[in-house]
Chain A
Amino acid sequence: MNRKVLGAGLALALPLLVILFANLGRDPHAVESPLIGHPAPPFSLSPVEGGPPVFLASLKGRPVVLNFWATWCIPCIEEHAALASAAERTGNDAQFLGVVYEDEAPQVQRFLEQHGKAYPSLLDGDGKTAIAYGVYGVPETYFIDTQGTIVAKFVGPLDPPTLEAHLALARGQKP
């Protein structure tokens, strides 16, 4: 009888243990973006410092790095230097864009004056662009290829090698 109970207990517990161990180390909040491989949602957003709105569709032909960020987000501050130096290095080979997430223009302008501004940051006051891209929080970075297709999404602060690897994907190079 005890053997039967033990067998039944194992039969029930083993699959659960296998599932547990197979998923240890996986972030339960990480949901893969369904937009990967699909056209990037269009937007037209005004730069934080004013001027005409930026249309995503008019950037076709160049890879786009679309970084959702905020001044109150510490990982965004951490990755700022990596993004700025990559934007300066790639020049017109790729278009870097920031999209301000739940933040105010004056704070953003002050931040960019202090930390350097290598590419435009756009205001998304009503959050429609963040919603269209399925943003969960900041920082989140979308890599869009020359055809306007989202090829990758990176959640969290980017370091230079990760940024370079994702940018290569957006350029159409094999990783």
Chain B
Amino acid sequence: MTRLFPALLLAAATATPGPSSGGRDATDGVRAVVGAPRGGPVTASDLDARTKEVAALLRCPVCQGLSVADSPATMAMKMKAEVREMVAAGYDQDQVLAYFERSYGEFVRLKPPLRGVNWLVWFAPLMGLLVGGGVVAWALRGPKDGAPRTTTSAPLDVDALPEDPALVPYVLKVRELAYGWPAGVRPKAEPS
């Protein structure tokens, strides 16, 4: 009996359809979300191209980074069929995207719209480029006092020794081998 009673209630419920419970035979559930179609009728030849265009902007929810247009997954095929139906009914691109966004969230859009923190997604690379360019310009800047720009290849002090004492013997060895200086130390200049 406990099983039968809910079943009876459900049977009663199915017999009296509510006003908002569309059969979804057309796109009436869609209309409740995004309003009446804003676009004009689409000709049969345009329908495929328009469907592909809009489906390419939707993320396939069961794939990794594929659009609904590109994915062979069953769910993507069903979403594509839904897009096609909406486009055929005259819904424009924004309305189709808004419909899917209502259920899946902004994640479903492959191109995030310019709003909220999404500005960062669009403009952070540009800002990074500007900041990076600034840093490079600062690093390459000339002397402040307008003195003639000296090249970075200023004569190297070949007698100087590194600060790190551990490196000193190696530097001296290199000088000995490279210049032939005894023990790596420049011989005293002989008076000419």
Please indicate whether A and B come from the same complex rather than being unrelated chains. yes
* A-to-B contact residues, CB < 8 Å: 31-35, 41-44, 51-60, 87-88, 91-92, 95, 102, 118-120, 126-137
The reply to whether A42 and B29 form a contact with Cβ atoms under 8 Å apart is yes
* A59→B23 CA distance, assembly (Å): 15
Q: Which of A58, A88, A118, A133 contacts B18 (CB 8 A)?
A: A58
Contacts of B5 in A (CB 8 A): 91-92
The 9 sampled A-B contact pairs (Cβ below 8 Å) are A33-B103, A42-B22, A43-B21, A43-B24, A58-B16, A58-B21, A128-B24, A131-B100, A132-B29
The reply to whether B6 and A44 form a contact with Cβ atoms under 8 Å apart is no
In the complex, B143 has a CB within 8 A of chain A: no
* A35→B9 CA distance, assembly (Å): 27
* A122→B111 CA distance, assembly (Å): 34
For the complex of A and B, 5 pairs with smallest distance between CB atoms: A57-B18, A134-B103, A127-B78, A57-B21, A55-B21
The reply to whether B2 and A56 form a contact with Cβ atoms under 8 Å apart is no
Q: Which of B10, B13, B78 contacts A131 (CB 8 A)?
A: B78
* A128→B86 CA distance, assembly (Å): 12
Q: Which of A44, A91, A134 contacts B104 (CB 8 A)?
A: A134
Contacts of B11 in A (CB 8 A): 52
Q: Which of A129, A134, A137 contacts B62 (CB 8 A)?
A: A137
The reply to whether A42 and B103 form a contact with Cβ atoms under 8 Å apart is no
Given contacts A34-B101, A52-B14, contact A44 B78 (CB under 8 A): no
* B-to-A contact residues, CB < 8 Å: 2-3, 5-6, 9-11, 13-24, 29, 32-33, 61-62, 74-75, 78-79, 81-82, 100-105, 107
The reply to whether A119 and B6 form a contact with Cβ atoms under 8 Å apart is yes
Given contacts A54-B13, A92-B6, contact A102 B24 (CB under 8 A): no
Nearest neighbor of A51 in chain B, beta-carbon distance: B14
The reply to whether B75 and A35 form a contact with Cβ atoms under 8 Å apart is no
Given contacts A33-B105, A34-B102, A133-B103, contact A128 B82 (CB under 8 A): yes
CB distance from B5 to the nearest CB of A (A): 5
Contacts of B15 in A (CB 8 A): 52
* A134→B104 CA distance, assembly (Å): 5
Nearest neighbor of B33 in chain A, beta-carbon distance: A41
* A141→B2 CA distance, assembly (Å): 23
Contacts of A88 in B (CB 8 A): 2-3
* A32→B104 CA distance, assembly (Å): 9
The reply to whether B81 and A126 form a contact with Cβ atoms under 8 Å apart is yes
Q: Which of A60, A102, A120, A129 contacts B10 (CB 8 A)?
A: A120
CB distance from B123 to the nearest CB of A (A): 18
The reply to whether B6 and A95 form a contact with Cβ atoms under 8 Å apart is yes
The reply to whether A136 and B105 form a contact with Cβ atoms under 8 Å apart is no
The reply to whether B19 and A57 form a contact with Cβ atoms under 8 Å apart is yes
Q: Which of B14, B33, B74, B103 contacts A54 (CB 8 A)?
A: B14
Sample of 5 further A-B pairs with CB below 8 A, known A57-B20, A134-B105: A41-B33, A41-B103, A91-B6, A92-B6, A131-B100
Contacts of A131 in B (CB 8 A): 78-79, 82, 100, 103
* A53→B17 CA distance, assembly (Å): 9
Q: Which of A32, A35, A92, A119 contacts B102 (CB 8 A)?
A: A35
The reply to whether A102 and B74 form a contact with Cβ atoms under 8 Å apart is yes
* A12→B11 CA distance, assembly (Å): 63
Nearest neighbor of A119 in chain B, beta-carbon distance: B6
